[in-house]
Chains A and B, each alone.
Chain A
């Protein structure tokens, strides 16, 4: 258990500390992205870079945990943990051992809206790496032994989640905001649903959800466009042409200012909050992005950080962020404070929310936000894997091949009156919906 905690912390460290890789090249231009189309018609975006002998690939299939049937919550997630536990003629042990011996990193994941994967390999092992990926996608086994073993690990994870106030709070908030929508259901499932998911359920998921028409691929590293084109057909060519159709309703979050307190005997309350936000394709998205940066996302410089942490010492961690989904959107955030100071923290939070809505931001704040957001953007391209992930998300969001070059211009174009108009329209302190897990003094759930 501790080993897991260590690793998580290390990841956080690396996320914070890893510097830029290749966003801005010497001549000030962004990375050179090629849209590679295989002979069989599969598209991938490629950034070719042979500096280091490795290849990173990310891919995503549209359609994720939101499609889990009622009572089978966790299906997409569980499939993602079992799809690489045995495929083709290799059982779980043989498959994992081959990955390990070749130092190939292969992982799958499931979010609300996508099922995704990541592959990282030394160039010299890329043939085997691509072949193992092909097998996992097209011919996963879901043998009884790994299904039972991974199910027990999954259940162990869910038990640990029940110890974690932040996870409990986040789950409760989703449920409050989306009472009658898949977004309200847990991506990781529950102890009950995980127990009932079968190998056939997972085979069904693979055959319905993994196809060529809902697939987005990003590749970075030591591979040419010509070679990648051939590999794409070998890896993904055997997938069905079309995924099963699905329909998820557009939904507005039920953010109506309620507060829910969940009792837990801990010294510090975990706080999560949300109101409605803007989807990624909303024309005001960038304005909201800049607005939220000033409000709660500016690292050591946002208003929430300043008022709640710097001036009052109310919390170690406090922030807000935009959370756009395919069919809804939130502005959400979290913090933690001693049980005796929750009421004060929430009051400062709502005051800042209100203040920004009523009075907007200053020209100086806007200018600072722009220089940060534009100057920091290149540093986000922290490694070949990160760049590959960005290539995938730009495709999933249909932002266009030139998006990376346009992006800073979109930030620059945001004007003060736009920010302040949107602040007035969007930010609504009275709609902030809050979950507190702990024993907050003087705070009760909304009846």
Chain B
């Protein structure tokens, strides 16, 4: 069902980089047009005239990692409240107007950003722009509505996290993985802090981060920059500009100890195991560890190791040794803060976590030791670049990729040059990246266990 949802940065990373962009090196990716309004709003247009429809998104460079200490969940609760009233529109009007115009809408909060979007017939675009511009600066905060919506968010937390042992473990893993970086806080917030959020907390966060210079407007579909510009000036152009706020993120210090986080629950019927290494994102290196130059190679490494049933981990653990139900690897590079490189496996019945872990460790050691083969790198590159063509099948993908990238501190050029950079990744670079991120590096091992078993 369509729900206002929050998403972990990790999830969006999959959206962003699994599909990728067009495979034609030297041709860019989404070929967007861009301009900036006088009040500082950056506008990105991705023309696509296949059908008379547009996706209209506003991204704010403010996510859960930008919350003040003790106020976890404020970014996400604010996202919910953005559907309530403004000075111009009373509560519920926003969604009613979108619906009456046949539009689909939603919003999501992540570690690094909060985004709002509607998909509508192209001739309804300016109406959506007017509504979105209105709630950029005119939101009202009604105490009673805040209290009711808080209950909704607490139910959302119960559904997503408290009801699910795997998600509870995930919260502990994030808190262990990051000693200091704010990614250690859950996007939805800790229950006791959600309960304590005040109207003032919400208003402060809104006033601090919601303004044109901290937002990105992305429109994909049957429109050009030339057509969009006067519409943008008539709507968003009227929102007053403000001096820029700087995002201050505490840095993650060098880490020296590996940690193990284990959750045993009677509710768990299928145990699982993960090992997570801090890895560079596309813009943030690991202090005392690998730098951002490894990001593209790590993407290929994850595809070589984790790419379906022909990857070495799956082949060895699942097919040959019959120890695991599943096994693989993935890499998240999308955030403004540090990324992560993850190995995962789930044991077959009767196989201990210890035995499973030893088997993964042996495979990973082999990969570090011997390196990956040229032909496997070539195959992985072909697959990654082919996904890019599929990405063009959907109007929203380009808007999501560019919006998330820009809201996380990256540039359009960085996104557009992605196919060229992937094309240029060498086997040596993949092996060097594997060694830099894994060999001798501290990690967090996460274990989900059935209660009462080894």
Contacts and interface: CB of A to CB of B under 8 A. Distances in A.
B326 A23 contact: no
B142 to A, nearest CB: 13
Nearest to B169: A2
B103 A376 contact: yes
Contacts of A159: 269-270
Nearest to A165: B163
Contacts of A268: 155, 158-159, 162-163
A13 interface: yes
Interface in A308-334: 309-317, 319
Contacts of B153: 316
A18 to B, nearest CB: 5
Interface stretch (B50-58, B203-211, B434-442): B50-58
A313 B389 contact: no
A85 B100 CA distance: 47
Contact of A14 (B121, B267, B330, B396): B396
Interface residues of A, number: 89
A398 interface: no
Interface in B125-181: 147-156, 158-159, 162-167, 170
Given A93-B310, A156-B325, A13 B11 contact: yes
A377 B53 CA distance: 12
B297 interface: no
B55 A53 contact: no
A230 interface: no
**Of A13, A301, A337, A381, most B-chain CB atoms within 10 Å:** A13
A20 to B, nearest CB: 4
Nearest to A296: B1
B445 interface: no
B117 A2 contact: no
A379 B119 contact: yes
Contacts of B346: 1, 156
Contacts of B266: 265
Interface of B: 1-5, 7-8, 10-12, 14-15, 18, 50-55, 83, 92, 95-96, 99-106, 108, 117, 119-121, 147-156, 158-159, 162-167, 170, 220-221, 266-270, 272, 274, 307-310, 315, 318-319, 322, 325-326, 328, 330, 342, 344, 346, 348-349, 379, 382-383, 386-387, 389-390, 392-397, 400, 448
A374 B382 CA distance: 41
B102 A376 contact: yes
B14 A19 contact: no
Contact of A299 (B2, B119, B268): B2
Top-3 shortest CB links A-B: A375-B102, A313-B151, A103-B386
Given A17-B55, A21-B395, A267 B103 contact: no
Contacts of B1: 299, 317, 319
A160 interface: yes
Contact of B396 (A18, A301, A385): A18
Contact of B51 (A22, A160, A319): A22
Contacts of A149: 318-319, 322
Interface stretch (A3-11, A240-248, A281-289): A3-11
Nearest to A318: B1
A17 B106 contact: yes
A249 interface: no
Nearest to A157: B270
Contacts of A93: 309-310, 315, 319
B423 to A, nearest CB: 16
A174 interface: no
Nearest to A345: B155
Nearest to B96: A301
A10 B11 contact: yes
B10 A6 contact: yes
Nearest to B273: A1
Interface of A: 1-7, 9-10, 12-14, 16-26, 49, 51-54, 56, 92-93, 96-97, 100-101, 103, 105, 120, 122, 145, 149, 152-153, 155-156, 159-160, 162-163, 165, 264-268, 270, 298-301, 306, 309-317, 319, 336-338, 368, 371-379, 381-385
Contacts of B10: 6
Nearest to A368: B100
A10 to B, nearest CB: 5
B394 A19 contact: yes
A96 B149 CA distance: 47
A336 B220 CA distance: 35
Contacts of A265: 266-267
A179 to B, nearest CB: 26
A122 B270 contact: no
Contacts of A12: 5
A221 B116 CA distance: 31
A312 B155 contact: no
25 contacts: A3-B342, A5-B166, A10-B15, A13-B5, A17-B106, A17-B119, A19-B55, A22-B50, A24-B52, A103-B386, A156-B348, A160-B269, A162-B269, A266-B267, A267-B162, A300-B2, A300-B83, A316-B156, A317-B3, A319-B1, A375-B121, A376-B104, A378-B51, A379-B119, A383-B393
A386 B356 CA distance: 39
Contact of B104 (A5, A10, A16, A49): A16
B28 to A, nearest CB: 16
B102 A374 contact: yes
B274 A13 contact: no
Nearest to B84: A310
B148 to A, nearest CB: 4
A398 B266 CA distance: 48
**Of A17, A56, A265, A338, most B-chain CB atoms within 10 Å:** A17
A342 to B, nearest CB: 12
Contacts of B15: 10, 13-14
A56 B389 CA distance: 13
